[in-house]
A = this chain, B = another copy of it.
Amino acid sequence: MLYFASDYQEGAHPSILQRLAETNLEKHPGYGTDEICASAGKRIRDACGCPDAGVYFLSGGTQTNKIVITSLLRPWQGVISADTGHISTHEAGAIEEAGHKVLTLPHTEGKIDAEEIRAMCAAWEEDANHDHTVMPGMVYLSQPTEYGTLYSPEELEAIRRVCDRFGLKLYIDGARLAYALAVPHSPTLRDLARLCDVFYIGGTKCGALFGEAVVIPDPAALPHFFTVIKQHGALLAKGWVAGIQFDELFRDGLYLKLGQNALEKAHRIRDVFRRAGFQTAFDSPTNQVFLVLEDNVYERLSSVISVSFWEKKNETHTVVRLASSWATSDEEVSQLEKQIDLLCASPTTEVTGV
């Protein structure tokens, strides 16, 4: 069986494990007050061109989204998100548990745009009864999105302008940020630091055992954030275990290199399928590949390659997702190619369009 179902199936980049081993019996103060966390924070600040930024290391994406969003919002506010945003669909109601409504906009391949956000806020402003409704207080974007698509620098600039017009905070979920940063002409860390109130740099899906680095360009945006992290049970006693991972990921541009590897492999995967006559569901320039499969092809494919069910396209076709990662090897993609060749050679499998 070949495994392409997701990008969090392996452990960590070897340099992380090596560093953990090397430092294992050193003594550190707790809760992220150690020198390794300080070093990792400095590297991230440098990469963001943001020498005063607050940097905190949390364990996972849902945790980070929940803590940041509830800290940026006041009780009467909600968060604007694509209806396909992770916070809206796959976080088990974490945002609502924290007391806030997710104000959804219909997505376009996982994205929302400045004009849609503006229209929602303008409608709220114009509603004579808006004091009885939830006020939009911030915007949640994911980069890349859950559909593997990207916001361009111009799109983010436009969204920032709408945020400024309506007093909204802007927050970006970078669970897979390495795979966005590696795409040429996509927004850089400096762009994100300039345009966002808060964003996070994903580790779990980008080469770490676990961990997400929250970046707060102006730390006054999240006062007493250390205590809030503790209150939500997200403060690691051995903070340096997360710190080591980001200190390695941001040493010598490793984070970007890991992203580039995933992109190269994803491009090869797309080529393999296209050459074999398969159809992609939509254009996604990052590490996720979405295919439209006839259901019988889906079934045969699944017997040899582990992929993710995405959604039913229609009564006879299904959309599936394959993901490459920092760890995907040339060898794995070659094996995939071989399997696809075998599959297509079989007289009972014929790949046709929708």
Q: Give residues in A with beta carbon < 8 Å to B.
A: 3, 5-6, 8-12, 14, 17, 20-21, 23-31, 59-67, 70-71, 74-76, 78, 89-97, 99-102, 128-129, 131-135, 204-205, 209-210, 223-224, 226-228, 230-238, 241, 309, 327
Contacts and interface: CB of A to CB of B under 8 A. Distances in A.
Contact of A204 (B8, B102, B238): B238
Contacts of A234: 59-60, 63, 233
Contacts of A14: 24
How many of these chains are in the complex?
4
A136 to B, nearest CB: 11
B99 A8 contact: no
Contacts of A238: 8, 11, 204, 209-210
A210 B8 CA distance: 19
A261 B214 CA distance: 38
Contacts of A97: 75, 99, 231-232
A17 B18 CA distance: 9
A128 B230 contact: no
A168 to B, nearest CB: 15
Contact of A129 (B90, B93, B133): B90
A96 B92 contact: no
Contacts of A11: 20, 23-26, 238, 241
A93 B76 contact: yes
23 contacts: A8-B238, A9-B28, A9-B30, A11-B25, A12-B20, A12-B24, A17-B20, A21-B21, A59-B234, A61-B237, A76-B92, A76-B93, A91-B132, A92-B131, A92-B132, A92-B133, A92-B227, A93-B134, A95-B96, A97-B231, A99-B99, A131-B227, A232-B233
